[in-house]
Amino acid sequence: MDIKITKVAPEKMKPKPTDESKLGFGQIFTDHFFIVEYETGKGWYNASIEPYRPLILDPAVMCLHYGQLIFEGMKAYRGKDGSVYLFRPGENIKRMNESAVRLCMQPVDEDLFMDALVKLVTVEKEWIPRGIGTSLYIRPTMIATETALGVHPSNKYLFYIIAGPVGAYYPEGFSPTKIYVSEEYVRAVRGGVGYCKAAGNYAASLYASQKASDLGYTQVLWLDAIEMKYVEEVGTSNIFFLIGDELITPPLTGSILPGVTRDSIIRLAKDWKINISERQLSMDEILDAYTDGTLKDCFASGTAAIVSPVGQIYYKGREYVINDGKTGELTERLYNEILQIQYGEKEDPFGWRVKISD
C-alpha cells in the first residue's frame, strides 16, 4: 500500500528543542504522524503521513469503553556520523501483531508497518537528537474505532505512529533503583494479556506503583499471580538476577511481556558463554542467595534504559541491598554493548541494526 505524505508547511513547523539535556521523556512530539484506517470487509486503507493533529473520536468509539488499545515502544538512534538506525524493529512489529491477535484486533501488514516506520523517521530525521543515549522514541498505537456499545470485537480500527525526541536515561551515570516487592497486587496472570502491550496492563499497574512510590521506591517487583512466589517483571521492564555464575530471568509463560531488550541480553549472554537460564525464580531462592552471599547482581531491562541496576529490594518488611547498592559489572557490560550496537559504534554480529539513512 502506498503511503501518501503531506508535509507541514515550513512556517508551521514546531520549534525543535535546543537543549538535549532537558528533553526528558514523552513530552515533545514531532511535526508529523503516520495513520491508517481499517474496516471489516475493506481491510486497511488510507495510509498517510500527515501533520500531527488531534484525533476526532465519537464518544462511543469502542476503545474508550472496552479497552481494545495496544501499543509498542521503540527508538531511532543517531550515530556519531549522522546515520540513523532502528534496533530490531521486526520484533516490535511481531509483538504488536501478537497483541492485536490476543485482543481480537487487526494485525497490520508487516511490510506496511516497516515502510511507515522508515518513512516517518526519515521525514522527522531532523528531530532525532544527537547525543549518545538520546533518541527518537516511537510509539505505534492501535485503537478500536467502531462507534457502538455492547462488548464485541470492533469492526473499525486506527493504527497510528507518533514520535518524539527523548533524553539520555543516565545523563549523570547509572543510578541503582530501589524496588518494592508487591505482595498484595499483581500485574497480570497466566492466561490473561500480560504478554501483550495492552493499555489495560498499564492501568492495572498504577495503584501498586503509586503505593511503592509513596514509600520511596522506584518500581514494583511483580510476583506471579497464582502462588505469589515467583518473580515476574519489575515496573515496565523485565528482570534479571545473577546468582553465583547463573544469570536468571523468568520464562515467558504468558504473564510477562517478551521484551526485545530481554531477548537481546539472552542472546548476548549466550554469545559470551554466560550460564543463562530462563526459569522460575522464587523470592525464597533470592533471599537464600542473599544470605549465603551468592546474589551478585540484579537489573531490569527495557527499551527506555537498556538496563537499569537494582540496588535494593524491599520484601516482607526488610530491605536487601544488592552489590552494596552499586551497579554490577555485568549490568554495565551489557549496557555498553547494547548501547554501542544501537548507535552504530560497534560491530553488529546479530544483524539487529537497521540503517534508515546516512
* Contact footprint for ligand PLP (CB under 6 A): 73, 233, 236-238, 257, 259-262, 301-303
Closer CB to ligand PLP, residue 106 or residue 237?
237
SS3 state at 88: coil
| β-strand pairing of 177-181 with 306-315 | parallel
Name the grid cell of 49. Answer: 503521513
Closest distance to ligand PLP from the beta carbon of 24 (Å): 18
Nearer to ligand PLP, 8 or 252 (CB): 252
Minimum distance from residue 149 beta carbon to ligand PLP (Å): 29
**Shortest gap between Cβ of 279 and ligand PLP (angstroms)?**
18
Minimal distance in Å, beta carbon 320 to ligand PLP? 22
If the CB atoms of residues 112 and 256 are measured against ligand PLP, the closer one turns out to be: 256
3-state helix, strand, coil in the chain (%, to 5): 25, 30, 40
Cβ(203)–Cβ(174) below 8 Å: no
Cβ contacts of 114-118, under 8 Å, gap ≥ 24 = 114/89, 114/90, 115/3, 116/3, 116/34, 116/36, 116/47, 116/49, 116/161, 117/86, 117/89, 117/161, 118/86, 118/356
Give min distance, CB of 201 to ligand PLP, in A.
6
Of the two residues 121 and 260, which places its CB atom closer to ligand PLP in the complex?
260
Cβ–Cβ < 8 Å for 87, 72: no
Q: How far is the CB of 260 from ligand PLP (least distance, A)?
A: 4
Backbone phi, then psi, for 65, in 5-degree steps?
A: -120, -45
Please, which residue, 146 or 233, has the CB nearer to ligand PLP? Answer: 233
Instruction: Give buried/exposed letters for 164-182 (b at 16+ CB in 10 A, else e).
Output: bbbbbbbeeebebbbbbbb
- CB-closest chain residue to ligand PLP: 259
Nearer to ligand PLP, 73 or 90 (CB): 73
CB of 204 to ligand PLP, least distance (A): 11
Between 145 and 238, whose beta carbon lies closer to ligand PLP?
238
Give the C-alpha distances (Å, rounded to integers) separating 76 from 5, 122, 195, 216, 261.
20, 10, 24, 33, 15
